[in-house]
Amino acid sequence: EVQLVESGGGLVQPGGSLRLSCAASGFTFSSNWMSWVRQVPGKGLEWVANVNQHGSETYYADSVTGRFTIARDNAKNSLFLQMNSLRGEDTAVYYCARGCCCGGNCYAGLFDQWGQGTPVTVSS
Amino acid sequence: DIQLTQSPSFLSASVGDRVTITCRASQGISSYLAWYQQKPGKVPNLLIYAASTLQSGVPSRFSGSGSGTEFTLTISSLQPEDFATYYCQQLNSYPITFGQGTRLEIK
């Protein structure tokens, strides 16, 4: 069974930092793109960042570029999101999502498995 | 950035109804469009990708169509478990973007 378990969320002051982690199991982690997607409760979905299978290629939403860094450790089946210079608008539930290998293709931006999310609140 | 606009934003329908949700892209995205279903308190679930390909395990009452800038998600006969919020998403280019969502409720 595929499992993605996020951790590291919490309450942080504006300007502070947090590091989110996602522990993956039940699949060959090194075969898939991985992403972070966030959602303000009751609102829509916002893609944050993704990383390729080897960790050598990363992409970010404009809203987090220069502040957030995505990384992975394939030896530990783990995905990370380092979040610096946090702002109130970063408050959301952060989901770890697996890039789908569907129909013979592995997609960077198609999400077939999601973790349960970790909440991040940025407030003084 | 590519904007996705879903219509309607809210839809009230009955069990057994046929419903269609539209997603319009601000520029052409070929067939790089997916649809997700999200129920309250749950994570999104991938329904359709490549505009019209049904994800494994998704009931055949769900179907998708379109290419370029206009896409539709159709549910042929609504079941009680289908009442949820639906999102379209484009993966044609970065940044990856989602539509604002369509909330489907029981009439």
Q: Tell me what the pLDDT averaged over chain B comes to.
A: 97
Report CA dihedral (A11, A123, A65, B93) to the nearest 10 degrees.
80
Residue B77 C-alpha, separation from nearest chain A C-alpha, in angstroms:
24
For the cut 90, the answer to whether the pLDDT of residue A22 exceeds it is yes
Kindly state whether A107 is in contact with chain B, defined as any CB-CB distance less than 8 angstroms.
yes
Position B31, amino acid: S
Tally C-beta pairs within 8 A across A and B.
55
Cβ contacts of residue B47 below 8 Å, gap of 6+? B34, B35, B36, B37, B54, B55, B58, B62, B64, B73, B86
Residue B37 C-alpha, separation from nearest chain A C-alpha, in angstroms:
12
- Best CA proximity match to A61, nearest among A52, A69, A71: A69
Question: A15: which 2 tokens?
Answer: 């300007």
**How many other C-beta atoms are found inside a 10 Å radius of the C-beta of residue A24?**
24
Span B9-21, average pLDDT: 97
Give the pLDDT confidence of B43-63 residue by residue, as tens digits: 999 999 999 999 999 999 999
Predicted pLDDT at A103:
87
